[in-house]
Amino acid sequence: MFLKCSRANVRQDSGGEAVNGEPEDGTVAAAPAEARCGARLRRGGRCPLRPSPGKRRCFQHGGARGIGAPKGNDNALKHGFFGRVETAERRRINAVIRECNALLQRVEAEMKAAPDWERYRATRRLRP
């Protein structure tokens, strides 16, 4: 469920002051551009609320405390097929395969340049 970004949804403290710094009468306080949430709204404008402390977005647009992965998250660790060691091993194997293919192409070119290639090809029924 999405909350509409309006002055009615702003939490207030015990003194009637908005938690995000807006006055009680519902007007948006003049704030510098970097102190605004700035999330795009469905109506096309930008969110005028102040960001949560230490965040870039307000509490309605993902700036709430406890949002996001914990510091040092092991769930984001790459392992298995996509791990650093496995990727390096695949690259090394692919380089060896490329070298082998290049060697085979050189050997085949030398064989085709040999004077008895046509006789060899005819006995083995190879394509030219």
In SS3 terms, 60-75 reads as HHCCCCCCCCCCCCHH
Share in percent of the chain as helix, strand, coil (round to 5)? 40, 5, 55
Residue 12 lies in a domain: yes
Residue 5 lies in a domain: yes
Residue 27 lies in a domain: yes
Q: What is the mean pLDDT of the chain?
A: 76
pLDDT top residue among 105 and 121: 105
Residue 69 lies in a domain: no
Task: Let me know whether 11 and 59 are in one domain.
Answer: yes
Last residue of a domain, one of 37, 63, 89: 63
Residue 22 lies in a domain: yes
Q: What is the pLDDT of residue 117?
A: 78
Q: What is the pTM of this model?
A: 0.39
Number of structural domains (the chain) is 2
Task: Let me know whether 110 and 59 are in one domain.
Answer: no
Q: Which domain holds residue 38?
A: 1-63
Residue 75 lies in a domain: no
- Give the whole-number percent of the chain exceeding pLDDT 90: 18
Residue 10 lies in a domain: yes
| Residues 15-61 pLDDT 10s | 554 455 444 555 555 445 568 888 899 988 999 989 888 888 888 88
Task: Let me know whether 45 and 103 are in one domain.
Answer: no
